[in-house]
Structure 1
Amino acid sequence: MAEIKDLKITTDSRPVILFEKFGFTPRGFVDIAVSDVSFSSSVPLPDPSLLGFFLLSDENLIQAIYQSQQEVPNPNPNPNSNPNIDPSCVLSSSYVRPLFTFRDLSQPPPNSYNHSFRITQPDEYSLYFANCAIESKVTMSVHTEMYNARPDGSRDYLSVGWILVPSIYFLFAIVYAVFLGVWIYFSLWKNRLSAHRIHQIMAGLLFAKVLNLICAAEDQHYIRVTGTPHGWDVLFYLFQFLKGVLLFTVIVLIGTGWSFLKPFLQEREKKVLMIVIPLQVVANIASIVIGETGPFIQDWVTWNQVFLLIDIICCCAIVFPIVWSIRTLRETSKTDGKAARNLAKLTLFRQFYIVLIGYLYFTRIVVYALKTIASYKYRHVTS
């Protein structure tokens, strides 16, 4: 979420490295400090102007990629780019905004660069580093700050679309706290004689959700004000882990009918829990790596794929116990003489199955689609 970043790139040969994405107002700024820069090549040392930083909006991304793949010179070169740069290099594209190249570095030592760039055209931009030098590897330390200046001169480190997110998280924390109070009163106190253990676990799930939202709100608030979460990210990931494990555990337990339909779990149902819970641990580790590092690390795409794969496996695994329960009820309704009672339970499980499928479809597909099509100014809708 555009925290102040201190990054270390070591012997990296990638042609393009994505650092951050940020939504700017007309008073936006990008501060970049690069130090300890060195680059090596198996061929004669390349022209320093072939390596540099630039900004690119999502709207111009496809055009910039297409233009850089053309072998013919760009008919409308960027007036801010170096005319000696290879036309196939993205730094020469008319769709990007070059910030600086290694030609602008101070003479060694210390081989560094420090500058603040003003953004006057509001949009969502991505900060990239381009290496157009063939067979060259770069080592450098990079400090980045992306923010919008408020009218009073203070800095807002949250992207335009995320400004309302701390308030939204805090509002939903209050809503879930009310749900928790109502649940405790009606399910665990007023009807305590008929309460089951699954109701207690549900209360624990709601409590973890409240703490997760509070920490998320504080995390985003401190990032917005200072550029760093001040440790709230640790608590956020902790309660996010507890919420994720409890959520999938509750769904599996309800799907098996544990506690209110039968007091035990069968062996195959225990195996589902033993699969889902460790996968949730791995999924949360992947989530932390994705959230706390950024797209600049070489394995960032891999961690995203790991998180997506595990999420799909967990979503598929928790459906099986519900299908097993529905099948068992359908079979027993024909033999035990309690057709009406079993039919009511069967209807209840079918409704739960439909609600669960709707939840998974909405949170995995609809939300992703909204993130894709929503303007950067309204990204808080998908938070």
Structure 2
Amino acid sequence: MAKIPLLLMFLLFLLSLVSLTTAEIRKLTITADSRPMILFEKFGFTHTGHVTISVSSVSVSSSTSASNPNPSRLGFFLLSEESLLQVLVEIQQNPNFCVLDSHYILRLFNFRDLSPPPHSRFNQSYPVTAPNEYSLFFANCAPETQVTMDVRTEVYNLDRDGSRDYLSAGLTQLPSMFFFYSLLYVAFVGIWIYICVTNKKSVHRIHLLMAGLLLTKALNLICAAEDKHFVKVTGTPHGWDILFYIFQFLRVVLLFTVIVLIGTGWSFLKPFLQEREKKVLMIVIPLQVLANVASIVIGETGPFIKDWVTWNQVFLLVDIICCCAIIFPIVWSIRSLRETSKTDGKAARNLAKLTLFRQFYIVVIGYLYFTRIVVFALKTIAAYKYQWVSNAAEETASLVFYMVIFYMFRPVERNEYFVLDEEEEEAAEMALRDEEFEL
């Protein structure tokens, strides 16, 4: 029985990983599952919340020769994060305690309510009148038993006109928000095309890739808006999730590719990539494929699958590796420019390039730090009604990042970083000597 407290600590870990789901109408099959706790989804309810659970084809098997398990020891319940600590205390005080007996949960039903075999089914809707963020669980307090069942869940809030809103109370603003940002990126694409057309002689291949990045970002946001809209209204994305994942994959691959290529100076400083830079791209792109597969599994299945935590860990690990990998080319470029400045007699130009790439390095680090750490912190500490704030912060940071990078490396005939006079050349030589002396 010592395993029970450990499993509840694991439950705490699960809840820390789970963000508010889109709460689509979900249908799933659980086969021979012996887990004492299965987390289905997490949802923010208003005072008009409802949860509907349909269970069918239920069978419970025991791995021992004991009699059939007590059906009241298996059932569904809702648990708020505030009540989770109290439940943990109850279990720590009594390792044999069943969570279904806790006074801190909102019990829905147990297997005693099932229709008699061979049907073994149940369908019921429950109102949730106390606004809060709840997690929907299935508990199996019968030792050494395995459960098989088909489950269909609907979690939603009712709007003033009586229509169902399948998005959590903190995410119902997402369709409008994503559409607003998509309009900003469409305008951004138009401005970038205008800049490229009016400066044809200064356009490099990297500028075309940057245009493609903006376009995929705009399309990604449009699909995200449609995806969330249909989920909000109907409970299912109607195929928009597929387009969302496609453009999400293209956007992320293009983003990391553009950062690596700019960081190596490709198309600006040299027309080719060195072997180590090619290896970085060959590492980053496959890793992004893996990260997107993990993202799809996480988004489309939910925490009820046995390997959900593993996929979460894969996604986080791959994302960290990619973020570290794209930093190396920028560091290499800075080191190469510093060494070149000592020998080629073009101190001012090299100092300007060095300054540019240092600024680029700082901007990339700041962007990665904000979107990976600050945004995660906002998701963790924000009240469930304001979960959209973390999405808005992430999209705003991304837009600012794109604007800064595109301005720094825009196509212009007389680039302020590369066109310098003799006085600036002499001043740069002194600056580089001082820097070398300090180092």
Question: Normalising by structure 1, what TM-score?
Answer: 0.95
Extract unaligned runs of 5+ from structure 1. Answer: 73-85
Residue 256 (structure 2) pairs with residue 248 (structure 1): yes
CA distance in 2, matches of 1:322, 1:177: 29
Matches for 1:10-25 after TM superposition, within 5 Å? 10-25=31-46
Extract unaligned runs of 5+ from structure 2. Answer: 1-21, 392-439
Residue 49 (structure 2) pairs with residue 28 (structure 1): yes
Cα displacement (A) at 1:109: 2.1
CA distance in 2, matches of 1:152, 1:162: 19
**Does the 8 A contact of 1:65 with 1:90 survive in 2?**
no
Give the equivalent residue in structure 1 for 2:142: 133
CA distance in 2, matches of 1:354, 1:66: 46
**Does the 8 A contact of 1:53 with 1:101 survive in 2?**
yes
**Does the 8 A contact of 1:157 with 1:224 survive in 2?**
yes
Residue 298 (structure 2) pairs with residue 277 (structure 1): no
| Residue-by-residue CA offset, 1:138-157 (whole Å, 9 max, x unaligned) | 00000100011122221111
Secondary structure of 1:161 counterpart: coil
Cα displacement (A) at 1:316: 0.3
Matches for 1:151-170 after TM superposition, within 5 Å? 151-170=160-179
| Residue-by-residue CA offset, 1:157-211 (whole Å, 9 max, x unaligned) | 110000110000000000111111111111x201111111111000000000000
**Does the 8 A contact of 1:48 with 1:101 survive in 2?**
yes
Give the equivalent residue in structure 1 for 2:335: 327
Matches for 1:77-226 after TM superposition, within 5 Å? 88-186=97-195, 188-226=196-234
**Does the 8 A contact of 1:68 with 1:93 survive in 2?**
no
Cα displacement (A) at 1:14: 0.4
Question: Normalising by structure 2, what TM-score?
Answer: 0.83
CA distance in 2, matches of 1:314, 1:195: 28
Secondary structure of 2:388 counterpart: helix
Residue 274 (structure 2) pairs with residue 266 (structure 1): yes
Give the equivalent residue in structure 2 for 1:77: none
**Structure 2 letter corresponding to 1:65:** L
Give the equivalent residue in structure 1 for 2:74: 51
**Structure 1 letter corresponding to 2:174:** V
CA distance in 1, matches of 2:88, 2:249: 38
Secondary structure of 2:387 counterpart: helix
Q: Higher helix share goes to which structure?
A: 2
Of residues 44, 52, 64 in structure 1, which corresponds to 2:87?
64
Q: Which region of structure 1 is more displaced relative to structure 2, 331-340 or 60-69?
A: 60-69
Secondary structure of 1:126 counterpart: strand
Give the equivalent residue in structure 1 for 2:346: 338
**Using CA pairs below 8 Å that are at least 6 residues apart, which structure has the higher relative contact order?**
1
CA distance in 2, matches of 1:330, 1:60: 58
**Structure 1 letter corresponding to 2:329:** P
**Structure 2 letter corresponding to 1:205:** L
Matches for 1:230-249 after TM superposition, within 5 Å? 230-249=238-257
Secondary structure of 1:111 counterpart: coil
Give the equivalent residue in structure 2 for 1:308: 316
Give the equivalent residue in structure 2 for 1:257: 265
Give the equivalent residue in structure 2 for 1:78: none
Number of residue pairs the alignment of both structures matches? 368
